[in-house]
Amino acid sequence: MKLKHIQHLYWRAGFGILPNDLEPLKDLKRKAVVDLLFKNSEKISPLNIDTSELNQILKSGGPLSDVERKKIQQLSRKKSIELNMSWMQRMMKPWELLREKMTLFWANVFVCEDNNVVYTQKYNNTLRTFALGNFKDFVNAISKEAAMTKYLNTKQNKKQKPNENFARELMELFTLGEGHYTEEDIKESAKAFTGYSHNLEGDFVLRAFQHDNSYKVFFGETGNFDGADIIDIILKQRQCAKFICEKIYAYFVNDRLNAKHINEMVDVFYRDYNIKSLMHFVFCADWFYDDENIGIKIKSPVELLVGINHLVPIRFENKKQLLYLQRQLGQVLLDPPNVAGWKGSRSWIDSNTISLRLKLPSILLNDAYISKVENDESESMMLAKKQVLKNRVGKQFKIQRDWNFFENCFKQVPSNKLQDYVLMAPLSSTAEQYLSTLNKTSKQEYCVQLMSLPEYQMC
């Protein structure tokens, strides 16, 4: 398998690949490389921050006092930051690479947020559990999550007064897409989800006395349907498979959709809604490795931050600084902008974020310093500028950088070949001319220079 193709695969299915990990794969066939990727993600390792103090309050069974509610809010605010950091750390050092990338993807499909960190963590782990599983089981599990029943008001959905929020978003944003259902379908399916609720600990509870047992008519079928029946009927629609395949294609392949490729994906997915089979097909397809699909995807803020850390491990002495960067870049984990999630693609880049994105590698790895062209700067001038920037930037971002890790990983890579491992996008003529003027004696300095190019924003 071509090295560039392996790098492409690992950027889309993960957050990049280092030379020492890349080398053992280069003599393998494509299927063997893809199979290994899936094998390494078979295990499910839940995130597990300590919520014992919260759990103790929730186990009381309620009703909660005002003091207890306030305590839950205070603890959740604090622990939500910890959960955000834990998720970021997991992606920076993934135990199951593909599963973690799929979890990040699904978090922007089944969009949800909650102010109770116990429910949020449980929801996040449900995404992780079903990320490569059966889509039918996945949707059913999502419909019963405490965070979701709160977020889309299923908890208020009662036979006396149906609430249509979840029923609408289930079809519009989660399974079918706008225009592939009627208002009557929404009303009828909302009845089927009446009584969906949860106890204080976040476990699903069906309130039978609030459930509508009348006959419903949904997509031309009639019956005493419950929520699971509605999901079954939705999945009978080929449009459901097409909708999900389009989202996967846009995220993992190219946001310019190719109808032929998507139809091939639908043929695979519609058979049994097996997510693992679908992703295996995509990663083995010839068209996945076409030049038009390599180095053309704008990295999300999370991909950018995790990718930098993948090359040079960094540790924030103040964890809130990582949260601050997420906010400045426009993507805070566990805090989506709305039920439709982040738009992605070109929306990641605007006048407010582009400057920070280009400066970010130098800020995190070199106190905001980027060395200049070969004959433009003496060593003493370079050191003086570095010290000034360190004094200024170091006060804002206190970071430990593991350049030894980088040097060990890139030991066998000549400096003038570093760009082949750092960049995925083809270089512009301007970038090529700029790189030709640089002094490449220091791999660290050259790495920062490469990561400060617009091409590093792409994968």
Q: Domain residues of the chain, as ranges?
A: 3-39+238-293, 301-457
Provide block-wise average pLDDT over 10 residues at a time, the chain (459 residues): 97 96 94 98 97 93 89 95 96 93 98 97 98 98 98 95 97 98 98 97 96 97 98 98 98 98 98 98 98 98 97 92 95 97 95 93 88 57 46 67 96 94 95 88 92 96
Amino acid letter for position 338: N
Tokens representing 199? Answer: 């106890």
Residue 218, phi then psi, degrees to nearest 5: -135, 125
- CA 202 – CA 204 distance, rounded (Å): 7
CA distance to 16, 99, 201, per residue, from 13 (Å): 8, 9, 34
β partners of residue 9: none
Residue 427 in contact with residue 335, Cβ under 8 Å?
no
Give the three-class secondary structure for 244: helix
Q: What pLDDT is attached to residue 58?
A: 94
Q: Which residue has the tokens 């019963």?
A: 144
Q: What pLDDT is attached to residue 371?
A: 73
Helix axes 3-12, 30-39, angle to 10 degrees: 30
- CA 146 – CA 399 distance, rounded (Å): 37
Amino acid letter for position 213: N
Tokens representing 333? Answer: 């984990």
Amino acid letter for position 119: Y
- CA 164 – CA 179 distance, rounded (Å): 16
- CA 204 – CA 206 distance, rounded (Å): 7
Q: What pLDDT is attached to residue 67?
A: 93
Residue 304 in contact with residue 360, Cβ under 8 Å?
yes
Q: What pLDDT is attached to residue 431?
A: 93
Q: What pLDDT is attached to residue 368?
A: 79
pTM: 0.94
- CA 331 – CA 302 distance, rounded (Å): 7
